[in-house]
Amino acid sequence: MGQDYEFERSIVSMFNTVFEDGSKSVRGRAYRRRSSKFSSQVCDVLVDSASDRFYSAVECKRVSSSDKLYFSSNFRSGQVEDFRDFCRDTGRSGWLAVEVSHGRGRAKQGFLMDLETLLLFYENGKYIPLNLDGSGEGVSDGGGIVVLGRKNGDYILPEDFYM
């Protein structure tokens, strides 16, 4: 299985860990959508929950040693519009999950971007800047961006996401 699938599984695990932790007072279930190279899908992960914050669709992207996520090469034609329409039609909140791999031996970084912020980047440019370390142009925590934490190599949602 490819690293893209591993990232999708880690996003599913991250959400399910929150649901399985009884102290969080939120219930739900996340699952990966089955994919096929012969058919496109609208998103990679669905999260079902009675909580509006968690009832969502997640599109996962993984980039290696890059400081930009390009709409022309990292998304198929019409994918952003299809994702937007799916979220609108189903009442789900939309999230873009991105993992940036900085090469062998270096820690991966991940973040979630809400659909509204994704659409702003999409309408205003050719790419999303990915400098997560705060140097130069790049996404940062807040304003529709949630930087994911790490614990024992797994992604974790910051507590303010579900509080």
Is pLDDT of 21 > 70?
A: yes
Comparison of pLDDT for 61 and 37, the residue scoring more: 61
The set of residues, in sequence order, having a beta carbon less than 8 Å from that of 136 and lying 6+ positions away, is 129
Rounded mean pLDDT of 90-102?
A: 93
Average pLDDT across the chain, whole number: 86
Domain that holds residue 62: 3-161
Report the domain count for the chain: 1
Compute CA distances 71 → 25, 78, 79, 126, 149, whole Å.
37, 10, 9, 6, 25
Measured in whole angstroms, the distance separating CA 87 from the mean position of its chain's CA atoms is 14
**115-124 and 79-90 helices, crossing angle to 10°:** 150
Closest to 161 measured CA to CA, from 63, 19, 48: 19
Element housing 11 (H / E): helix 3-20
Q: pTM higher than 0.85 for the full model?
A: yes
The confidence band for 64, taking pLDDT boundaries of 50, 70 and 90, is: confident
The DSSP symbol for 34 reads P
Q: What is the CATH number of the domain that holds 137?
A: 3.40.1350.10
> What are the two backbone dihedrals, phi and then psi, of residue 22, each rounded to the nearest 5 degrees?
-60, -20
